[in-house]
Structure 1
Amino acid sequence: MQMDELELFLTLARTRHFQQASVQSNISPSALSRAIQRIENEVGEKLFDRNNRNVSLTPAGLVFRSYAEQMLKIWKEGRQALSQEKGVISGELGIYCSVTAAYGVLPEILDGFRKAYPHVHIKLRTGDAESALEQLQKGDTDIAIAAIPEQMPEPMESILVARTPLVWISSCNSEIRSGQDIDWKTTPLILPKQGIARMRFDRWRKEMRIQPSIYAQVTGNEAIIAMVHLGCGIGLVPEMVLEKSPVTHTIDILEVVPPLKPYGIGICVNRKSLGNGVTKAFWDTARTYSLPHGGE
């Protein structure tokens, strides 16, 4: 059994979706299906239950996943130990971030890291920003780029590399204009379903004693911008995301007083994984791009 097949198995076990797993693994769904069949034939057990809607691990699959994670971890550690014996940092590094972070935060840091450590293979996965810390907690990635909460969960650490205001936005075609008073009881709001921005809105709403009219609660800042672009209401997003949006020219930023507290974007890691030479090398590289924590 090849190590790359174990990675395919674990990706499908994590996503529970053939299309998502194939996209993340850069192979076709049919090739992924054949790889899973080869693994099942080799171990002699059915590892996944499949139907038209979803994929789930069988009892045998749950057992095999635990051993597959251990085997892959030992394999990677062995390769890294051998490379370090030669004085070379090599291996794989998993990074999870939003599409916006991939455009706006990661390039400069990644460029510096690749120049210093050309033998490291980067495995980048993108998804909802709200899921970044969860991916790190579950051990599905080595590094996450995420909004830094006021209290980082143990045993995680973060390096502040960017700041962004939270801004209220409306469509340029909307009757709502910057500077005018907003009737929060009747104006439809499009809000993040969870995450730091939502927590800060809930705190702001209580302080302002506002009873808002919530039109939609969605996952992903890009989805909020799309709904505002279509005229569904006003939304709350990080300004950094708006700047990278293809429809930013159709969006107005509203002046709302008092503004919500901005938040920091950080390189996040599980403290235990800093014993890994590749992860530690990226962490040390990221430190050279860090910002002071004061003044958020």
Structure 2
Amino acid sequence: MELQQLRYVVAVAETSSFTRAAERCLVVQSALSHQIARLERELGARLFDRTSRSVRLTAAGTAFLPAARQCLDAAERAAAEAAAAVGMVRGRLAVGLIPTVAAVDIPAALRDFRRDYPDVRISMRVGASEKLADQVKEGLLDVAFLGLPTSIQPRGVAMRELARDRLVAVVPPDHPLAAEPTVTLKQLASEPFADLPPRTAGRLQSDQAFEAAGLVRDVAFEVSTAELMARLVSERLAVALFASTYAPQLPGVATVEIEDAPDRVEYVVWSAAGRSPAAAAFLALLGLTN
């Protein structure tokens, strides 16, 4: 079993295509297919069900994939640790973040990191806090920036609190509430809302606040991105709640403080097993060394 074979398996699993996997791995498809077939013979099990229209993991492939990823991560970590021992930072830096992170300017930080550590391969993915935390635990991400209600803390990862913030109401500029200095959750409860999907951390902080106040609101628009939430507000279809430090970035809307607003906590998290050399260097660049 060779590391390159594991890379091919992971690529096919993630792209659901031998052609796209070969393109990602910069090899011809016949070579990739040959190596996967050779690995399947060694394992005595098929890893993929192939048809003319689709490629799917078999039960054996589903069982094999997590360990294959762990092996690749361990090999990459070993090379990075060896380089770090002689003063070099190499390997990867995989960063995750929520769309509304405000405590850190992530693009600027990654720009500075690339300048200082050009041998590190940088990647980034945006998602919901709970999924990003899981991906850190699984080793898919090195560092993630989360936003959570005060009732929840990240579990199974090392963490540091970055900032606390209150939510504000975001309404159309000509909305009657836009002229008010402050509003209450009760005043907002009768409005149609745009919000994130149920059971996500971003949605939970708002749901808990209205529930604690004994109020029921109408979430008429359930969307997956902050940008679309803001667009629905600017088009006068809904109101929404955003962190006060993020809301000023939104065009075409008005922001109003909420007297009984829920709070949000931003965290940075990394693997409980320790920081990779690249993750340690990135956090040090942000002044997060403890």
For residues 243 and 268 of structure 1, the distance between their equivalents in structure 2, rounded to whole angstroms, comes to: 26
Compare CA radii of gyration and give the structure with the larger one: 2
**Contact 1:189-1:215 within 8 A present in 2 as well:** yes
- 1:134, CA displacement in angstroms? 2.5
- 1:88, CA displacement in angstroms? 1.8
For residues 115 and 33 of structure 2, the distance between their equivalents in structure 1, rounded to whole angstroms, comes to: 39
CA pair 51-214 structure 1, distance change in 2 beyond 3 A: farther
Gaps of 5+ in 1: 291-296
1:238 aligns with 2:243: yes
Match of 2:192 in 1: 188
CA pair 289-52 structure 1, distance change in 2 beyond 3 A: farther
Cα shift readout 1:77-109 (whole Å, capped 9, x = no counterpart):
331243134332221121122455499621343
CA pair 89-204 structure 1, distance change in 2 beyond 3 A: same
- Partner-residue secondary structure (3-state), 1:168: strand
Cα shift readout 1:163-210 (whole Å, capped 9, x = no counterpart):
543221122354553427765553212222233443322332133221
- 1:251, CA displacement in angstroms? 0.9
- Partner-residue secondary structure (3-state), 2:153: coil
**Contact 1:95-1:123 within 8 A present in 2 as well:** yes
**Contact 1:148-1:158 within 8 A present in 2 as well:** no
- Partner-residue secondary structure (3-state), 1:88: coil
- Partner-residue secondary structure (3-state), 2:160: strand
**Contact 1:172-1:252 within 8 A present in 2 as well:** yes
Match of 1:80 in 2: 80
- Partner-residue secondary structure (3-state), 2:178: coil
Moved more, 67-76 or 1-10: 1-10
**Contact 1:164-1:239 within 8 A present in 2 as well:** yes
- Where do residues 137-286 of structure 1 align in structure 2 (5 Å cutoff)? 137-148=137-148, 150=150, 151-174=152-175, 176-179=177-180, 183-184=187-188, 186-193=190-197, 194-244=199-249, 248-261=250-263, 263-274=264-275, 276-286=276-286
Match of 1:41 in 2: 37
Taking only the aligned residue pairs, the percentage that are identical comes to 19
2:210 is matched by which residue type in structure 1? Answer: R
CA pair 54-230 structure 1, distance change in 2 beyond 3 A: farther
Moved more, 231-240 or 53-62: 53-62
Gaps of 5+ in 2: none
> When the two structures are superposed, what TM-score results if normalisation uses the length of structure 2?
0.74
**Contact 2:135-2:141 within 8 A present in 1 as well:** yes
CA pair 257-77 structure 1, distance change in 2 beyond 3 A: closer
Cα shift readout 1:103-123 (whole Å, capped 9, x = no counterpart):
962134334444543432222
- 1:59, CA displacement in angstroms? 1.6
- 1:58, CA displacement in angstroms? 0.9
CA pair 93-185 structure 1, distance change in 2 beyond 3 A: closer
For residues 79 and 96 of structure 1, the distance between their equivalents in structure 2, rounded to whole angstroms, comes to: 22
1:236 is matched by which residue type in structure 2? Answer: L
1:189 is matched by which residue type in structure 2? Answer: F
- 1:268, CA displacement in angstroms? 1.0
Cα shift readout 1:224-268 (whole Å, capped 9, x = no counterpart):
223223332111222444444xxx33111133322222x232321
For residues 205 and 141 of structure 2, the distance between their equivalents in structure 1, rounded to whole angstroms, comes to: 27
- Partner-residue secondary structure (3-state), 2:82: helix
CA pair 201-70 structure 1, distance change in 2 beyond 3 A: closer
Moved more, 107-116 or 120-129: 107-116
Moved more, 226-235 or 171-180: 171-180
CA pair 71-238 structure 1, distance change in 2 beyond 3 A: same
- Partner-residue secondary structure (3-state), 2:251: helix
- 1:35, CA displacement in angstroms? 8.1
For residues 9 and 240 of structure 1, the distance between their equivalents in structure 2, rounded to whole angstroms, comes to: 42
For residues 46 and 81 of structure 1, the distance between their equivalents in structure 2, rounded to whole angstroms, comes to: 34
- Partner-residue secondary structure (3-state), 1:145: strand
**Contact 1:93-1:122 within 8 A present in 2 as well:** yes
- Partner-residue secondary structure (3-state), 1:211: coil
